[in-house]
Chains A and B, each alone.
Chain A
Amino acid sequence: MSAATRLGAEPGKFTRGVILGLIGAVFAIPIIAMIQFTFRDGLAGDYTLDHWTGLVGEDAARTYRGLLQAVGNSVVLAIVTVGIVLVLLLPTMILVHLQFPKLRRVLEFICIIPITVPAIVLVVGLAPVYGVVVRIFGSGAWTLAFAYGITVLPYAYRAIQSNLDAVPVVTLSEAARSLGADWPTVLRLVLLPNLRRGVLAASFISVAVVLGEFTIASLLNRNNLQTALLQVSQSDPYAAVIFALLALTVVFGLLLLIGRFGAPRNRRTE
């Protein structure tokens, strides 16, 4: 398309710069403020590295033992939640896409529901369920992943569905079957490599949601990263902000990994 016909079709360079700058500022200002805060020595004081160096050493390990345990709990929760997404949601979505396309709207509706239900309402409903869960699986922090498996559904569904829509899944699976592949082989060798971006996006977004979740864990009396950060912030706000920054960095890194490893092989090798 020529430049003349595109005139006015998109914002100019200056407008784009302003929009990007404003959006960047919305994200960057709080983060920069957090970073600056962690180097402050009191509100009127100088800058210091003490808050960062104070997190290293035996004393720190004792002081922040609860927080470190919470980090471990959150990592386990993230892994189990991703497992639920990959083992339950992904095969269900592929099955619906291939064999029961009429059920797609129903599945979409079910998966979107959690985003419309406030966490507090969800907890009220989950509380009696967790009475049963505790009897069966115990009260380990990892059991919270059953609830998180529900809360991440909208995000994971959208990530996988957009990838499913972009790939001719039906044709590819029929081609593979005509060449002698059984269903597990079709899934492993043909579909999953082409759904890698969606699967990775769903996984990492699920991790991000789990690492940022507070309400359900707090109301169900479980210890995770966010509840522990709240506790730490009451005694040491600097440490709480530092751990929040570290958590942000981890999530940011995960999102970068989506871009790196989510790209299909045929594009990366060009």
Chain B
Amino acid sequence: MTSIASVPTSLGTDRGAAVELEAVVKTFGTHRALNAIDLTIKPGEFVALLGPSGCGKTTALRALSGLELVDSGRIVIDGVDVAAVPTNKRDIGMVFQSYSLFPHMTAIENVEFGLRMRRVAASERRTRAEEALDMVGLAAFAERFAHQLSGGQQQRVALARALVTRPRVLLLDEPLSALDAKVRVQLRDEIRRIQTELGITTVFVTHDQEEALAVADRVAVMRDGAIEQIGTPEELYATPLTPFVADFVGLSNRIPADLVDGKVVAHGISMRLLGEPMDDGPITAYIRPEDVALANAGIRATVVASSFLGSLRRTQVVLGDDSRVSIQHDADVRPQLGDVVFLKLKGAAVSAVRRTS
């Protein structure tokens, strides 16, 4: 592992810009990729766009970068509508999902490229590029070509290249998805550290909810070209406003239940409902695995799978009504397949959806 320097003064601090997307629409043929999307990002904020494939998160990022021109709506950076401004004049830094280093240039030449476009003098260019490489821990790799760097190193160089020009906004388009798990976590933490030190407004696109919750100040969950919910990671996890968010952010058990006087009643146990209030009647309740526990008595269930996850174990059981439930419990407890266990429900149901049958 290489040593990592703190953020150099040449990269500046507190350069965050306010970003606003107002009623942005983008269609591809008959497909409406962005459906009048609204998003406000504060200066210096780290916002993650999270959602499944095809939800419009990458299109939103590309619209912000100028790589996709929008059909209508406003894209405002620091009070100026840039919707019609070409990419090369938007003053943004971008890191792509696929490795995007210029193969015919060394790492330092790659980092210098943006400064070269801004006609920065050669000596200053070299100094700033060296500092940027130092910041991402790759000062010793300056003269290497892309094919001589690992995937993680290439993405670090790409990050240095995006930041060295002191852009107003940093856009990250799933920059970790091509990396292996360990490097992904390392680089994820590094991105957050650098972003915090620089204070640069950052938009991070990912389909990995763990990644989004770990790094972002706020997470916007997207679905069908619109933002379903935006909030802090804690808000999204604890109080998802819709079943989709409850399902997509974190794990949720879907348990048939009834809503009685605003309370969720499942298998004779009453719980609070955190999501949108609903009329009484049959529902499917969304309950987090940590709100279900093994007990000596309670709801009878049969173990169908159990996985060791390091500090804890996740066990899947089937209830009498055939609904499948995940439980997280101490790794020392090792239920066997076919074992009959008893469950208790605690806490609250995070969300619910009307059950028709």
Contact = CB atoms under 8 A, between A and B. Distances in A.
Contacts of B114: 179-180
B93 A178 contact: yes
Contacts of A265: 104
B98 A179 contact: no
B103 A266 contact: yes
A194 B67 contact: no
Interface stretch (A45-53, A120-128, A168-176): A168-176
Interface of B: 65-67, 86-89, 91-94, 96, 98-100, 102-104, 113-114, 117-118, 145-147, 158, 161-162, 165, 171
B97 to A, nearest CB: 9
Contact of A182 (B67, B88, B118, B145): B88
A266 B162 CA distance: 22
Contacts of A177: 66-67, 86-88
* Chief secondary structure at chain A's binding surface: helix
A177 to B, nearest CB: 4
B96 A174 contact: yes
Given A176-B113, A177-B67, A178-B65, A266 B146 contact: yes
B104 A193 contact: yes
* Top 6 A-B residue pairs of the complex, sorted by shortest distance between their CB atoms: A180-B117, A179-B114, A266-B145, A178-B94, A175-B100, A177-B87
B147 A266 contact: yes
A181 interface: yes
21 contacts: A171-B99, A172-B100, A174-B67, A174-B100, A175-B94, A175-B100, A178-B67, A178-B88, A178-B92, A179-B114, A180-B89, A180-B91, A181-B88, A194-B103, A194-B104, A264-B103, A266-B103, A266-B145, A266-B146, A266-B147, A269-B145
A176 B100 CA distance: 9
A236 B166 CA distance: 72
A233 interface: no
A185 interface: yes
Interface in A137-193: 167-168, 171-172, 174-182, 185, 189-190, 193
A55 to B, nearest CB: 43
B81 to A, nearest CB: 19
Contacts of A171: 96, 98-100
A192 to B, nearest CB: 10
B294 to A, nearest CB: 47
A182 B118 CA distance: 11
Contact of B88 (A167, A180, A193): A180
